[in-house]
Structure 1
Amino acid sequence: MFHKPTYGNHSTEVASVISGINGVNPYHNLYGVKVNLFNSSLLYAFSGLDNEIDYIRRIDNLKIVNNSWGIGKPKNANSNLFKYNYYSRFLDLLTANERDLIFVIAAGNEGNTNLPKLFGFDLSYNSILVGSNNDDKSLSW
C-alpha cells in the first residue's frame, strides 16, 4: 500500500530551493500544481496527472517542470515496479510531445535501504532524475 499523500511544507521547501531569495534562480515565475496521484485504488492512480500536465502545457514560456511528489514507496512492492512499468510509461506518453519542456523528478529523500532501487515514475525515459548521496552511500543533505 502506498503512503497517503499529504500537502504541506514539502513543496514550499522545494520551491524555495529552486526560486527563493537564496535559491538557484530567484528571477523567474513559479507555478504550484497540486495533484493526488495515488488513491486507495489503482483505478484512480492517474486521475489528476493527465489534467495537470495539460494545464502545465498551456502556461506560456514554461520550460522546466519539477516533480517532487513525496509519495514514498510501498513496503512490499511488486518487482515489476522496479523495471520500466505502467507508471513510467504513462508519464512518457503524457510528455512524449513536449519537446520544449524539461521534466525533472526527485529521486526521493527517504534513504530507504530496504528499497534502494528506482521505482515507478522515476523510470520515465522523458524525465531527468535527480538524487544525491555522499561517499558513504548515505543521504547528502
Structure 2
Amino acid sequence: MTTIKLRWAEGADKTLPLPAYESTGAAGADLRANLPGGAITLAPGARALISTGLHMAIPQGFEVQVRPRSGLALKNGITVINSPGTIDSDYRGVVGVILGNMGDENFTVTHGMRIAQMVVAPVVQTGFDLVEQMDETTRGAGGFGSTGAA
C-alpha cells in the first residue's frame, strides 16, 4: 500500500477529518474545504480556489488526481474546473481545489464540506523522439467522431 504523508497548513482547522474513503470500494478519498475564516459563495459561472488546509508528500512515481464529487455535480452543478487536477509528487504547497459553479444558483462552500475526491495513480514518464515519418494505422489521422461511435 502506498502512503501519503500529510501536514496541516498554518492556520488550518486541525479538527477536520483527513481525506478518507467513504466506502470499501471507493477509488477516491474525499477532500474537505478548510475555511476557518468563513464560507465562500460561488455565483453561477464563478470559480474559486478552495483550500484543503493540507500539504501532501506524494511518493515519487505517483500523482494525486483531484476530481469532482458526483453528488455536487448533479445536484448543484459544482465541478473541479481543471478536472482532473494533478498534484505532482514534488509539490509541497497547500493543496487547493479549483471549484466552479456551472449551476443556475449561488452555491456556498462551507467549512468542512466534502468538495472533491482525490485518486492516487501511478505515473509513467517517457522519452520523446522527433521522427520524420510515423507508422501507419487503420484509423490514421481520423479525429473526433471518426470511428463511427456515437
Q: TM-score, normalised by structure 2?
A: 0.28
Larger Rg: 2
Higher relative contact order, structure no. (Cα contacts within 8 Å, ≥ 6 residues apart): 2
Q: TM-score, normalised by structure 1?
A: 0.29
Q: Higher strand proportion, which one?
A: 2
